[in-house]
Structure 1
Amino acid sequence: MSYRIERGKKPASEVRRIVREQLDRALCESAALGGVGEVKAVHGIRKRIKKIRAVLRLVKKEVGAELFHEENRRLRSASCSFSGVRDANVQLQVLEKVRDSAGLEAGAFAGVISYLMREREDATERQKTQQHEAVALLESLQDRLDGWLLDPVGLETLCSALERTYRKGRDCLRHALDHQTAENFHSWRKHTKNVWYQGRMLQELNPEVMCEISEAADRLGGHLGDLHDLAFLRESLVSAGVVTVSEKEVLLGLICAREKALEQTAVDLGCRFYAEKPGAFGRCLLRYAGDSPSTRQA
């Protein structure tokens, strides 16, 4: 099955089915932890958790604030258990891209690479116990899932939730324009990624239009993600005392130049993507829901 509510099926049942499938896939991928496929497994598990959290935000009103915050806290904690290894790998990849785009030799920034590789080894060792705990947490969610109150969930409530997500992303864009900090761009990215995931879930409302929305959100989120990775590498370098000053200065200069270019691209894409007012965006979704053959209530 897919990460979307199928036509003609009850939205509440589909929401539960989607979450269960993502949990099953995450637990299946966890079998590779500690082996040669760990990097791929970590990436996959984190992606599954992001998808589940996006679903949870769609049904926040229906499941209630208490359950939402508790499950969201658990899922965030599980995701963080895998973040150290992921962050270390991403920083190495970002460094290679920056180096290659500058036309430098493979041996450039050898000191920084050695530092990041040591950080990756340390993160891998630190997170062994945390990862086992995170897997147990995901297994426990399988048992709790049937207790989620999803009966009130219908297409109209899901559309309203997506409108709220879109509104938050639009507000974050405006805030990032007023205060261009790495933190604000990262916050904008998180809400944009939620629009992407939730738009994919509601794709059957109007496949052509919803695919365009999801693809545009994915493209924007990708640029914002690259920007976040650059900022994270920059912050790591600033605090890295073992890296030579000359390497650090050259690399920081390249990173800052790349950040500036990506910021402009992201802002241009974001202004186009969030051009429509949230109310109009929501009314379009509700119109598509009214035309859908899916049952509105579970």
Structure 2
Amino acid sequence: MGKVASEPPSAGEWLRGRLLLLAEQAEMSVNDLQDHPEEALHQLRVRMKKMEALLRLSRGAMGKKRREKLRAEIKAVKNAGGDQRDAMVLQKLAGELGRKQGLRLPETPLPLEKPRMRQIKTLMTRLQKDLSAQSFEKLSWEDIQENFEASYRTGRRLMREAEETQDPEAFHQWRKRVKVLHHQTGALEEYLPHVQKRLERSRDLGRLLGREQDLALLEEATQTPSPDRAWKRVIKANRDKVRPQALELGEKVYQRPASKFGRMRR
């Protein structure tokens, strides 16, 4: 007798399984913080961002207060090591851009301290407990598609705002939504038609906008105690390259209206 095909998962089962898997992987990153702080911290933050993105697909499965509680717990884990991450990025970027001009930043990032590591472990344990207790059975695939399209439309709108204002904060907000789009698209790849190009382009766009955000951090760091004109010239020269590239690629990522996506395959 042939094998009986297994039933495809319900939308709630699929999303819950994805979130719990990311939580398990994040716990592994937490356990690696002692021996490999830089890489483990990066992986932990990436996994929290993926969880944030997927949680946005859960509208329809739980009340707003419950969803916001889980989101706050995810954000707390992600942000617990944010200052170390920013310091590491600044040192690398300053070394890369300032080498030819003899520019440098005096600050040196500190290693992740043991008390902070204990804090992250405590936050991670609480998140796993609350996530395991959460039911997603009310979620439908129609909810997921609607939530995915809403995220896409928000990113499209934020791209226009960044283009019109040329404000670093506008680019930062757009970047966050590009990351959401990329993580959601990657998770839903087998269910969405014609996504490979969007997946690749959103990845590349996220990297460009990440560079823009790192330049904004560097700009802020070189304003204290007084603006450094040499750094200002270097940052502007790099920003003048990155922003047009990001906007050009953004037009390709967001060229199709969400209404033209077609139905998800199930």
Q: How does the TM-score come out when normalised to structure 2? A: 0.91
**Contact 1:185/1:224, CA 8 A, preserved across alignment:** yes
1:220 — aligned with what?
Answer: 205
Paired with 1:7 and 1:163, the residues of 2 have a C-alpha distance of 26
Q: Mark the runs of 5 or more structure 2 residues left unpaired by the alignment.
A: 1-5
**Contact 1:84/1:124, CA 8 A, preserved across alignment:** no
Q: Deviations over 1:5-54 (max 9, x none)?
A: x993333212111111111111112122233x110110011111111111
1:186 — aligned with what?
Answer: 172
**Contact 1:199/1:210, CA 8 A, preserved across alignment:** yes
Tell me the secondary structure at the aligned position of residue 269 of structure 1: helix
- Shift of the alpha carbon at 1:137? 1.6
Paired with 1:240 and 1:197, the residues of 2 have a C-alpha distance of 38
Equivalent AA in structure 2 for residue 230 of structure 1:
L
Compared CA separation, residues 7 and 181, structure 1 to 2 (3 A): farther
Q: Deviations over 1:227-278 (max 9, x none)?
A: 000111111111246xxx7xx3222211111012111111111122212223
**Contact 1:63/1:150, CA 8 A, preserved across alignment:** yes
Residue number among 195, 213, 216 corresponding to 1:231 in the alignment: 216
Q: Deviations over 1:127-186 (max 9, x none)?
A: x43442222121122222233231122322211111000000011011112211110000
Equivalent AA in structure 2 for residue 73 of structure 1:
A
Q: Deviations over 1:88-139 (max 9, x none)?
A: 1111121233236xxx27xx224x2xx131xx12x745xx434422221211
Paired with 2:81 and 2:115, the residues of 1 have a C-alpha distance of 11
Paired with 1:162 and 1:262, the residues of 2 have a C-alpha distance of 27
1:8 — aligned with what?
Answer: 8
**Contact 1:15/1:55, CA 8 A, preserved across alignment:** yes
- Shift of the alpha carbon at 1:206? 4.2
Greater helix share, structure number: 1
1:276 — aligned with what?
Answer: 256
1:70 aligned onto 2:50: no
Equivalent AA in structure 1 for residue 18 of structure 2:
I
2:3 — aligned with what?
Answer: none
1:47 aligned onto 2:27: no
Paired with 1:187 and 1:129, the residues of 2 have a C-alpha distance of 31
**Contact 2:37/2:112, CA 8 A, preserved across alignment:** no
Equivalent AA in structure 2 for residue 79 of structure 1:
K
Compared CA separation, residues 24 and 222, structure 1 to 2 (3 A): same
Equivalent AA in structure 2 for residue 274 of structure 1:
Y
Residues paired across the two proteins, number: 261
Equivalent AA in structure 2 for residue 151 of structure 1:
E
- Shift of the alpha carbon at 1:71? 1.2
Tell me the secondary structure at the aligned position of residue 228 of structure 1: helix
2:20 — aligned with what?
Answer: 20
> Percent identity, aligned pairs only?
23
1:3 — aligned with what?
Answer: none
Q: How does 1:158-177 map to 2 (within 5 A)?
A: 158-177=144-163
Larger relative CO (CA 8 A, sep 6+): 1 or 2?
1
Tell me the secondary structure at the aligned position of residue 150 of structure 1: coil
1:33 — aligned with what?
Answer: 33
Tell me the secondary structure at the aligned position of residue 239 of structure 1: coil
Tell me the secondary structure at the aligned position of residue 116 of structure 1: coil
**Contact 2:30/2:40, CA 8 A, preserved across alignment:** yes
Paired with 1:78 and 1:41, the residues of 2 have a C-alpha distance of 13
